[in-house]
Amino acid sequence: MRISILGVGSMGSVVAASLAPTDAEVHLHVRGESGAARMLEGLRIRGEKSIRVEPTRFMFSCEEMPAEDRLTHGSDIVLLACKSYDVADLAKKAAAFLKPDGLVMALSNGLGHVETLCRIHGPERVVAMITTHGAYSQEDGGVVWAGQGEIGMASPPLGPSPARMEGLVVLFEEANLNPKLHENASELVWEKVLLNLAINPIAALAGLKNGELLASELFNASMMVYREAVLVAKMRGLSLSDEFTFETRLRTVLEKTGENTCSMLQDVKAGRTTEIGALNQVIVEMAESSGIAVPVNQMLTALVRACHP
C-alpha cells in the first residue's frame, strides 16, 4: 500500500513520521524551502513522542518540479494535510497520484472540504477526516507534537464501503494515531470545527497558548462562539453535542494541548493568511443566509482579518 501526503507541515509531518514504522510506502509532496529541508534532512518530531526519520524512508515529489513516473497514479490513499485555503488546489493535484480506485481525504481545518473532494473525485473515493492531535512547527525545522488526540473518519453519503473504511482504521492503528470510525461524516466534521471556532481566533487575537484559554473570561467567550455556531448547525439539520458535553470536551482539549500554539496564532505572528475564511467566516455566511445573528463570530472574523487579510 502507498499513501501520499500532500502538504508536509506540522500535522503532515506527525502523520508521516508515525506511518514510517509501518509497511506502507509513504510519499511526501512538498514545496518551498521547508519542503527542500524535508527532502534533505527527513523528519524530526519532539514532544509527545521523539521521532527521527531519515529522508531515505520516504518517496518525494516537490511542487517546483515534475513528479517521477513511478509516482503517477500509484497511491492507494492521498491525504491532504494542508491549510484550508490550499485544499481545492491540492485536491486537483491529488488526481495525478491517486489510483483509479484510491481514496482521498483532507486533514484540514474548516468546513466544505468533503464537498470539494466529492466534486473533484466523486463521493465513492472520499473520506471525511479530522484530527485532535496537536502539533506546531519550530524555526529550526522540527515539529512539536504538543498533544495526542485521535483521527476521526467517516464515509460521506455514497462514500467508500465499510470494508474500505476498516482498512483505513487498521493502517492508522498500526501508526498508533488512535483512529476512530464514525457514522455521520457531516457531524464528525462539525464537531471538530466547533472546537476550532472556539479556540483558534481567540487564542490568535490574545496571543495565548491553548491552555491559557481555560481562564474563566476567555473560556466564557469560547462558549459564546459555540452557542452561535451550534444554532447555525441546527438550522442545517445537524444534531451536535449539547452544551454540557461540548464544554467538557473543550476543557479536555485545552488541557491536553495546553502548551500548543494554535495554527492561527502561528499564522498571525508570521504574517501569513489565516484559516478564518473556512472557520468563523463560514458560520457568519451560513447565519446570514438563514437570517440568524452571530455577532461574536462576526466580530472575531473581522478582527482576525484586520490582523491579516
Instruction: Please state the separation of Cα 105 from the chain's center in Å.
Output: 10
Question: Which cell numbers in the block locate residue 168?
Answer: 483505513
User: At 274, which CATH number?
Assistant: 1.10.1040.10
Together in a domain, 10 and 37: yes
User: At 62, which CATH number?
Assistant: 3.40.50.720
Together in a domain, 106 and 193: no
What are the helix and strand counts (H, E) for the chain? 11, 12
pLDDT at 261 over 90: no
Q: Tell me the pLDDT tens digit for each residue of 17-38.
A: 999 999 999 999 999 988 999 9
pLDDT band at 44 (very low <50, low <70, confident <90, very high): very high
Q: Provide the domain count of the chain.
A: 2
Together in a domain, 169 and 34: yes
Q: Name the residue range of residue 242's domain.
A: 187-307
Q: Tell me the pLDDT tens digit for each residue of 211-245.
A: 999 999 999 999 999 999 999 999 999 999 999 99
Closest CA to 89 of 116, 111, 115, 109: 116
Together in a domain, 64 and 213: no
Together in a domain, 44 and 175: yes
Q: Tell me the pLDDT tens digit for each residue of 125-160.
A: 999 999 988 888 887 888 999 878 899 999 999 999
Together in a domain, 75 and 196: no
pLDDT at 165 over 80: yes
Cα distances (Å, whole numbers) of residue 169 to 61, 64, 92, 144, 229? 26, 33, 25, 24, 30
Name the pairing type of β-strands 59-62 and 25-30. parallel
Residue 213, classified by CB atoms within 10 Å of its CB into exposed (0-12), middle (13-18) or buried (19+), is buried
Closest CA to 79 of 6, 2, 182, 175: 6
Q: Angle at which helices 263-270 and 185-206 pack, to 10 degrees?
A: 40
Question: Which cell numbers in the block locate residue 194?
Answer: 466547533
Mean pLDDT for the stretch of residues 6-25: 96
Q: Tell me the pLDDT tens digit for each residue of 95-122.
A: 999 999 999 999 999 999 999 999 999 9
pLDDT score, position 132: 87
Number of other residues whose CB lies within 10 A of the CB of residue 96: 17
Together in a domain, 167 and 227: no
Helix (H) or strand (E) holding 186: helix 185-206
Q: How many residues does the chain have?
A: 309
Together in a domain, 138 and 240: no
Q: Tell me the pLDDT tens digit for each residue of 55-107.
A: 999 999 999 889 999 999 999 999 999 999 999 999 999 999 999 999 999 99
pLDDT at 309 over 90: no
Closest CA to 43 of 34, 33, 54: 54
